[in-house]
Structure 1
Amino acid sequence: MSETRPMNPPPHKSIMHETLNHFRHVGLWDPQSGLIRGQSDRYSGLRPEAVKSNLLRGASSDLSEFIWPKDQWPSVPHDDFHFAKNLPTVDLSGLRAGDAELRFNAARLLAKTFSEWGFVQVKNHGVPAEVIERMQNQARRFFNLPLEQKEKGVATRSSKHEQFGYGVESGFYYAGKPWIDRFQCRWSPVCEIREPVEKVFSPSDAEEFSYSIEVYNSQLDKLATKILELCALGLDLPENTFTKPFKGTAGDCIARMNYYPPCPLSSLTLGLGAHTDPNLLTILSQCKVGGLQVRKNDTWISVEPKPDTLIINIGDTFEAWTNGRFRSVEHRAVVNESEARMSMVYFASPPAKATIEVPEQLVTSKHPLWFRRSFTWEEYKSHLFQMHAGGNGVKISKQWLLKP
């Protein structure tokens, strides 16, 4: 008897079926373990996490839910840095030296890079190397914990830490299940790091972990302020144009640690799908393993990790605030079969109720008003939650920011 099949199977399910059949046909698929033969030993310790983790909840034992539609399979490997040299690097040493000319040159280059790329690498940024290294060590220590211990830091639905803690979803709905583990906490206006951490670690370890995050993010607060001031100068605006709404606070900021385990289906899945960040600025520190890819002229470019640099990118809110002078561009995270990757992310946004107004100087006959004249981060964030709760894709989220 022939097998009954749906007349029009969804593209995602059809591709999964086709791919898994290929593995079975060539004798590589092991139906007992759900892994590719020859690799089951390497990944046997990962499967309980894929099944039990709050992040990867609902994953079946055959990994099929992690296979993305074919048109989104990564075409560039995580370690192909052929075009990496093209991603500009800006030297911020002039800020510490107090050299006005160097500062102005950095501001111009930063504005030019954010206009053309939306991403930049910065060196001599002022964040001590030991602070970054300590934070990376603490993050690695956290993700190496047994799953049962990490899950003590899962936020419950009724908790004030909803969407924060261990194993949270990003809030973005992609075309496939992302291959990622994470810990996320609110940094400001109220720091909510310690409560979930204290459920995971002993008192002394929790103190060490929390302190490392607090020192690290305090440094990024200062760096974000400097970058916003330079951005204003680079656009010939008053220096406080983008910092004034903060009124001396850190705004609405989030700290996140991402962990991408080795993946047996790295050519068929993604750690994070293509998206733009909705916030103002994102500051990223990554380990030595590549995985971040930026889209430039319809080409995906792998960003080579450099120990002495941080990566900063523009979010949708900043693109709208500059009337499109700066670009919020698509990026994604790819995974690999042999090495785990880790990144630490600082998401900076204005205070929730602060009014964001497009500067008059950025509205000209050559650059007419393209985005909303004014809005608040709270309004945009509310729109985002509604969009993603409805299952809409990440690529249409920032349409709300366009001029009505």
Structure 2
Amino acid sequence: MENMLHGAPTTTTPTSLPGCFVFPPDQLVPATTAAVSLPVVDMSRSRDEVRRAILDAGKELGFFEVVNHGVPEQLMRDMEAVGAEFFGMPAADKAGFYSEDVNIPNRLYSGTIYETGGEQYWRDCLRLAYDFPAGDHVKDWPDQPQRLREIAGEYVVKARGVGMELLHLVCEAIGLRPHYFEGGISGGDVVLHVNHYPTCPDPSATLGLPPHCDRNLITVLLPGAVHGLEVAYNGDWIKVEPGPGALVVNFGQQLEVVTNGMLKSIEHRVTTSSELARTSVATFIMPAGDCLIGPAEEFVGEDNPPLYRTLTFAEFKRTYNVVKLGASINLARDLKNAQKKI
């Protein structure tokens, strides 16, 4: 567990849950008892089958898992291992990367700093930005563990490739021009979140991440072996149990805007465990800040008016930050309402 004392993280192991982590019971509605498997998109199938599977899964649940995706199994395991190794290093070795400044692209931050007060979430995160295709940001990544730069650099390129191929297939499935998601709309930094959820004294009273929708275009998640992801479905929460070797994919809010609500960005959250720490790795494909994003012309017309405002991604992020400042557990709902045209 990371804790901030005099500006630097130090290691502590709380035996009880500090009060600022505790949510009101009505904000911690438990998921259904059984874990469920997400719809599976097998990318080795015919292109037509894969397109239909993506569209069906996207409309039904907004989340799906992909198999035979081309990311080597060993690379996935190495990425999980090097992430866990980073968070296992002594606090002093990580202190130089620690920052609460959201404008720093590569940084370590922690939701487990409870001296500062306010509502906290039981998660630590190493945020790494990759300026595709050059990769110049890699030199600013931590140089320990020894292979972190090499493994994370290779992994983020592969994961982005999966996301972009899925976006091409989405275009074919819904009638967008083939290269709609090339250029500025996918031209921002690729952002890697190496998430670490330490063992928690009372998982029933807190969350690793609150309900939210991803603000980007599409997310590719390496979920790790320990369960924790939960997805909103039909007024309930369902526990996600990914299959072996699968990556979990969900649509971000910008894809919902482009399709004028046809494809949804779905709320999800992360729970914690008292027995096992969890490490996951999320790859976010982000638009460039000056990219203007609104409903595509293919999805608006006299009988189908635009549901969302057209904004640059930088303007959207400012809206996101304003909403987040006053957010409750309804962050995802409040953010969507802020961007809706009506």
Q: Give the TM interval when normalised to the shorter protein.
A: 0.7 to 0.9
Q: Secondary structure at the match of 2:142?
A: helix
Unaligned runs of 5+ in 2: 113-117
Give yes or no for the alignment of 1:192 onto 2:130: no
Shift of 1:280: 0.8
Give yes or no for the alignment of 1:377 onto 2:313: yes
- The structure whose Rg is larger is 1
C-alpha contact 1:116 1:327 (8 A) present in aligned 2: no
C-alpha contact 1:90 1:109 (8 A) present in aligned 2: yes
Amino acid at match of 2:319: H
How do 1:4-83 residues align onto structure 2 when only pairs under 5 Å count?
46=1, 49-50=2-3, 52=5, 63-76=18-31, 80=33, 82-83=34-35
Q: Tell me which of 193, 206, 213 is aligned to 1:269.
A: 206
1:400 and 1:140 map into 2 onto residues whose CA distance is 37
Amino acid at match of 2:123: I
Question: Equivalent residue for 2:86?
Answer: 142
Shift of 1:50: 4.1
RMSD: 2.8
C-alpha contact 1:153 1:166 (8 A) present in aligned 2: yes
1:55 and 1:92 map into 2 onto residues whose CA distance is 44
C-alpha contact 2:16 2:201 (8 A) present in aligned 1: no
Shift of 1:92: 0.7
Unaligned runs of 5+ in 1: 1-45, 95-101
Q: Secondary structure at the match of 1:108?
A: helix
Q: Secondary structure at the match of 2:205?
A: coil
Shift of 1:76: 3.0
1:196 and 1:218 map into 2 onto residues whose CA distance is 15
Shift of 1:103: 0.6
How do 1:195-344 residues align onto structure 2 when only pairs under 5 Å count?
195-198=140-143, 201=144, 205-206=145-146, 208-246=147-185, 250-344=187-281
Amino acid at match of 1:228: L
C-alpha contact 1:185 1:255 (8 A) present in aligned 2: yes
2:326 and 2:160 map into 1 onto residues whose CA distance is 33
Given the superposition, is the C-alpha separation of residues 112 and 68 from structure 1 closer, same or farther in structure 2, using an over 3 Å criterion?
same
C-alpha contact 2:111 2:122 (8 A) present in aligned 1: no
Shift of 1:366: 5.7
Q: Secondary structure at the match of 2:204?
A: coil
Deviations 1:318-354, CA, capped at 9 Å, x for gaps: 1111100110111000011111111001111122212
1:357 and 1:271 map into 2 onto residues whose CA distance is 31
Deviations 1:204-238, CA, capped at 9 Å, x for gaps: x44x2101111000101211110110111110222
Given the superposition, is the C-alpha separation of residues 169 and 263 from structure 1 closer, same or farther in structure 2, using an over 3 Å criterion?
closer
Given the superposition, is the C-alpha separation of residues 392 and 75 from structure 1 closer, same or farther in structure 2, using an over 3 Å criterion?
closer
TM-score, scaled relative to structure 2: 0.87
Amino acid at match of 1:377: F
C-alpha contact 1:55 1:181 (8 A) present in aligned 2: no
Given the superposition, is the C-alpha separation of residues 54 and 322 from structure 1 closer, same or farther in structure 2, using an over 3 Å criterion?
farther
Q: How many residue pairs were aligned?
A: 329
Query: Which structure shows the higher strand fraction?
Result: 2
TM-score, scaled relative to structure 1: 0.74
Amino acid at match of 2:59: S
Give yes or no for the alignment of 1:352 onto 2:283: no
Amino acid at match of 2:340: L
Shift of 1:263: 0.9
Percent identity, aligned pairs only, is: 27
2:172 and 2:55 map into 1 onto residues whose CA distance is 9
Shift of 1:54: 5.6
Question: Equivalent residue for 1:165?
Answer: 107
Deviations 1:58-80, CA, capped at 9 Å, x for gaps: x9986222111111225138xx5
1:293 and 1:183 map into 2 onto residues whose CA distance is 21
Given the superposition, is the C-alpha separation of residues 54 and 169 from structure 1 closer, same or farther in structure 2, using an over 3 Å criterion?
farther
C-alpha contact 1:188 1:251 (8 A) present in aligned 2: yes
Q: Secondary structure at the match of 1:339?
A: coil
Amino acid at match of 2:189: D
1:306 and 1:105 map into 2 onto residues whose CA distance is 20
Q: Secondary structure at the match of 2:250?
A: strand
Amino acid at match of 1:286: P
Amino acid at match of 1:320: V
Shift of 1:364: 4.4
Shift of 1:259: 0.7
Q: Secondary structure at the match of 1:332?
A: strand
2:284 and 2:239 map into 1 onto residues whose CA distance is 21
Shift of 1:167: 1.7
Q: Secondary structure at the match of 1:240?
A: coil
1:66 and 1:362 map into 2 onto residues whose CA distance is 42
Deviations 1:127-150, CA, capped at 9 Å, x for gaps: 111111111111011011112212
